[in-house]
Amino acid sequence: MQRSAPRPPLRFSTQTLLLQLGVVLLVVLLSAAVHSWLTYDRVGAEAENQALTLARTVASDPSVRADVLAISEQAGTPPASELSAGPLMAAAEAARARTGALFVVITDETGLRLAHPDPARLGEKVSTDPTEALAGQEVTTRNTGTLGPSAGAKVPVYAPGTETVVGEVSVGYSMETVGQSVQRDIGPVALTAAGALLAGGLASFLLRRRLQRLTLGLEPEEISTLVHDQVAVLQGVDDGVIGVSADGRISVFNAAAQRLLGQRDLAGGLWADAPVPGQLKSLTLPDAEEADAIELVAGGRVLVASARKALHRREDLGWVVMLRDRTELQQLTRQLDAVGTMSTALRAQRHEFANQLHTIAGFMSIGQHHQAREYLARLAATGPLKFPVDQAELLQDPYLQAFVGAKGVEADERGVTLRIGPETLVRSQVTEPQDVTTVLGNLIDNAVNAAVAGTSPDRWVELEVLDEPDDAGGTLHIVVADSGDGLGAGTEPEAVFAEGFTTAGSGTPASGPAVSARAGGQGLGLALARQLARRRGGDVKVLEPGSEGGPGAVFMASLPHTTAGIKPSAGEDNDA
């Protein structure tokens, strides 16, 4: 038996049309239902108010009040035959006939009927609770009694001239009458709903036509594949990608570019107004040509940027700017250098420690116990192992002490003495070692280079570090001075923080940043250090430019929120 071929699935535009028609139909039906319910509730509330007004009128009638009081004062309730022919029955039926109410019922103070449309019910207990009305309260109700569902009200009847409740009046209008009123109002609602459904269907059809034009007839699966490919290419790489269209708008600004530049997604905005470094914009000027990569500092990072023209069949599509991060590589290199320096220092100190042990063993083997004790006492006072940095114990943070000690070993190998200034005191723990290492290491390296290149025979670098405790995180203040020849004549202090600043080839020895720029060839160290500090709310600046022959330049850095910020306990000496 031959099977019929499966029916092809509906196109996306057709599915969208059907879905929109279904939504419009659902909205129209819900709106009609809500409107009908509100109308029903409104008409019911009007019936309750009408019943309350009629009940008040009957209850305030002097003759009704007097008749109810007279019956209440009697022992027992009159028989039904007497009540049906009495004045209360006549008054209640007259009010009911006049207003078209379903019922007008009068009871005594115990809730027994004194007037009722059905004479057979006279003298019986009312079917709905009269407690609130007999307690002196006016209430509106919607319930079902002996005469069917109704919307009504209950009003107390007071004795003439007093506030004593002697009975109550119940008035109700049939809910069937309320339903008939709603049916009369539902016609315009139905016409309105039909018109809305027709307009919604027409709008859905026009939207389907437009959707087909916008998607070029592509199905959702095809569009999804295109989007996935773009995301995989642009977001799946660590390099920043910025696409600038031919009309000067940013068409692509991937997540890596946002992270490297510290910006939100700028796609859709004008490239000329984008908050990015001007060096990036200069790569895409109308007269710019594809050039080699450049280095710049942005968002506290060292970036390598390059730009390429985007062409499609000789059509200019704009520029593609690529960003690569070199910050982590530089930081890792600095940390590896520090580890290597520490390792070399520890090997040398282990050899020194072994020699000291041999010396003690020699004293003990020849019986010179007194000399051995004196030697041990000297070792206990000075420590068997130490870095060539005086007063390193003022840096009580182990990480900071080890890092400065390693830098001291490096400086000592180059003939420069690294010393700790008298104002140094760090008692809290460093919580941001990466930023501290970047800033402090750059300043010390610059100062050591300046001391080596300087003309002063006494080569030294002095470091002062002071932590300022705070409950929200302490601030680390760093001051670095050297024996170099200063910044050089005619050099503005702020110029040393410009990206690419260098005095290489000038023939003038310089302190701090000049030597760093000459050694690295890029001049990005101080610019990066200042951006890192300012990003934390601090700064790096020149305190003294220095002079030829020494002393050299003095740099100061403040790094907020880089220590644990533990304040000294009460009574502790706060002097360095």
Q: What is the pLDDT of residue 345?
A: 60
CA of residue 559 relative to chain centroid, distance? 26
C-alpha angle 400-405-407 in degrees, rounded to nearest 5: 100
**CA-closest candidate to residue 407, choices 442, 436, 444:** 444
Per-residue pLDDT, 177: 64
Alpha-carbon torsion 334, 336, 342, 347, what sign? negative
C-alpha to C-alpha distance for 182 and 113, rounded to whole angstroms? 32
Predicted confidence at residue 556, as pLDDT, reads: 93
- Which pLDDT tens digit goes with each residue over 420-454? 988 888 888 888 887 888 888 889 988 998 899 88
Q: Are 464 and 479 in contact (CB under 8 A)?
A: yes
What residues form DSSP beta bridges with 539?
558
Inter-residue contact 158 to 65 (CB < 8 Å): yes
Cα–Cα distance for residue pair 134/140, rounded to 1 Å: 14
Helical segments of 215-309, H only: 220-234, 255-261, 278-282
Residues forming beta bridges with residue 321, ordered by sequence position? 242, 307
In angstroms, the CA 463 to CA 447 distance is 10
Give backbone dihedrals phi and psi of 244, rounded to 5 degrees, phi first. -115, 115
**C-alpha 126, offset from chain centre:** 63
pLDDT at 168: 92
Q: What parts of the chain have a pLDDT lower than 70?
A: 1-13, 176-186, 212-220, 226-227, 229-236, 290-292, 299-300, 312-315, 327-342, 344-349, 351-352, 379-388, 472, 499-524, 565-576
Is the model's pTM score more than 0.75?
A: no
Per-residue H/E/C for 75-124: CCCCCHHHHHCCHHHHHHHHHHHHHCCCEEEEEECCCEEEECCCHHHCCC
Q: Which helix (H) or strand (E) covers residue 128, if one does?
A: none
- How far is Cα 528 from Cα 501, in angstroms, rounded to an integer? 12
